[in-house]
């Protein structure tokens, strides 16, 4: 089969790869679409995602959709449209029984966090366990379904924050995750949604989604203590400081954006004096099913997709996805069937 393979920093190749054969309890899927995630960008542009270094050839991709090719159990018919929960959960720990996404020793599609690396799905075929497969409801296109994983990240952040219904919400950062978070907050009944970014392009996309206000950081600042909830999607310390100033006393900040390892410079005195709750968010759990339901009934999420590029233009796709001014979510159209 054909696959897109990262061999190191800015070394992405289309090459032949062994076609995987499903065993008992597994399903082989013909992949249709793959979204480019921030971790994919780091693996390609930097050769590493934080502490996770590409040490062997890595197929990226965990934002995926496709159709069933072979299910040895016969439970899923060939051609069934599906997406995935891309995690393999690790070892349960006391106190984490209901939080499998936090169990240690787990794995994630398209990740160099394990050795050997856990291969992703930017390839013609992908074999996964049956429990990772989610059948799409009628009417949900494969293209939109490729947003399931990042939308689940956004929904998990909203759930960690305690929900947004009837609340004034600040979304910090309007990249792909920020856009999906803003759209999800609107869909889940937020009274008012304000989106921030340092670039005008992302703010234009946020306005197209229907947010109530946008703020271009560097030219404006959010009103102090004007928000019940901040959903921080950039992972930039200065943006977290902005959220601390913007949320009301006893407000909540959900930290959705991933930060680099090591110490971070944050202004925490105000967080303490205002009794703000800063809550970490990591991937998601059951929100993948909520994301599928939401995508099936709300077409506003299509607007987050700004580029669709074929697999033979993957290098250009990764360059486009890095340019926050011009791109929201970039999808790679994998090799056509037939």
User: Residue written as tokens 């202004």?
Assistant: 267
* Pairing, β 227-232 against β 247-255: parallel
The 8-class DSSP code of residue 257 comes to S
The residue-averaged pLDDT of 60-65 equals 98
Q: Which of 215, 235, 134 lies closest to 169 in space, CA to CA? A: 215
Q: Which alpha helices (H) appear in 216-313, and where do they start and end?
A: 237-246, 269-273, 287-297
Query: Token pair of 281, please?
Result: 């968010």
Torsion 94-95-97-99 (CA) sign: negative
| pLDDT for the residue 260 | 79
* The two three-digit tokens of residue 40, written as one number: 């994919």
Q: Please give the Cα distance from 159 to 284 (Å, whole number).
A: 10
pLDDT digits (tens, 9 = 90+) for 262-279: 889 999 999 999 999 999
Helix H segments across 161-286?
176-187, 200-209, 237-246, 269-273
> What phi, psi does 179 have (nearest 5°)?
-65, -45
- For residues 338 and 268, what is the distance between their CA atoms, to the nearest angstrom? 57
Pairing label, strands 213-216, 227-232: unpaired
Mean pLDDT calculated for residue range 157-173: 98
Report d(CA 230, CA 106) in Å as an integer. 29
Residue appearing with tokens 């943006």? 239
Contacting residues for 320 by C-beta, under 8 A, at least 6 apart: 307, 309, 326, 327, 330
The CA–CA distances, whole Å, from 244 to 31, 117, 185, 213, 335 equal: 42, 37, 19, 19, 45
DSSP E strands, 198-328: 213-216, 227-232, 247-255, 277-280, 305-310
Phi, psi of 4 (to 5 degrees): -95, 125
| pLDDT, tens only, 196-242 | 999 999 999 999 999 999 999 999 999 999 999 999 999 999 999 99
Q: Is the pLDDT of residue 338 over 80?
A: no
Confidence band, pLDDT 50/70/90 cuts, at residue 331: very high
- The encoded tokens of residue 194 equal 């304000």
State the Cα–Cα distance between residues 83 and 74, nearest whole angstrom: 18
In 3D space, the residue among 62, 125, 52, 118 whose CA is nearest the CA of residue 90 turns out to be 118
Q: What is the pLDDT of residues 10-60, one digit of tens each?
A: 999 999 999 999 999 999 999 999 999 999 999 999 999 888 899 999 999
Task: Report how far Cα 11 is from the mean position of its chain's Cα atoms.
Answer: 23
Q: CA–CA separation, 121 vs 246, rounded Å? A: 39
Structural domains of the chain, with CATH: 2-146+298-333 (3.90.180.10), 154-280 (3.40.50.720)
pLDDT greater than 80 at residue 337: no
* Local confidence band at 336 (pLDDT 50, 70, 90 cut-offs): confident
């Amino acid at each position: 089969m054909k696959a897109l393979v990262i061999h190191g920093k800015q070394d992405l190749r289309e090459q032949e790869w062994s076609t995987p054969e499903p065993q008992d309890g597994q399903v082989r899927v013909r992949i249709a679409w793959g979204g480019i995630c921030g971790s994919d960008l780091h693996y390609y542009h930097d050769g590493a995602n934080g502490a996770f270094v590409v040490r062997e050839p890595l197929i990226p991709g965990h934002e995926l959709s496709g159709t069933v090719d072979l299910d040895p159990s016969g439970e899923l018919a060939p051609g069934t449209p599906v997406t995935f929960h891309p995690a393999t959960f690790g070892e349960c720990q006391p106190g984490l029984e209901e939080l499998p996404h936090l169990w240690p020793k787990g794995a994630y599609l398209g990740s160099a966090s394990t050795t050997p690396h856990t291969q992703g799905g930017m390839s013609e075929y992908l074999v996964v366990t049956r429990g990772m497969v989610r059948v799409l409801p009628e009417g949900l296109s494969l293209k939109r379904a490729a947003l399931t994983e990042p939308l689940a990240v956004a929904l998990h952040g909203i759930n960690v924050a305690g929900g947004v219904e009837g609340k004034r919400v600040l979304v910090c950062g309007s990249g792909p995750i920020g856009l999906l978070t803003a759209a999800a907050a609107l869909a889940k009944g937020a009274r008012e949604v304000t989106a921030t970014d340092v670039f005008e392009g992302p703010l234009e996309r946020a306005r197209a989604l229907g947010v109530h206000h946008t703020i271009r950081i560097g030219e404006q600042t959010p009103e102090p203590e004007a928000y019940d909830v901040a959903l921080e999607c950039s992972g930039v310390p200065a943006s977290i400081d902005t959220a601390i100033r913007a949320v009301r006393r006893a407000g909540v900040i959900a930290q959705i954006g991933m930060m680099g390892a090591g110490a971070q410079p944050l202004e925490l005195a105000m967080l303490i004096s205002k009794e703000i709750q800063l809550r970490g968010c990591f991937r998601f759990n059951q929100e993948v099913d909520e994301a599928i339901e939401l995508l099936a009934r709300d077409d506003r999420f299509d607007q987050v997709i700004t580029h669709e590029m074929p697999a033979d233009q993957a290098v250009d796709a990764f360059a486009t996805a890095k340019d926050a001014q011009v791109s929201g979510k970039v999808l790679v159209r994998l090799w056509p069937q037939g």
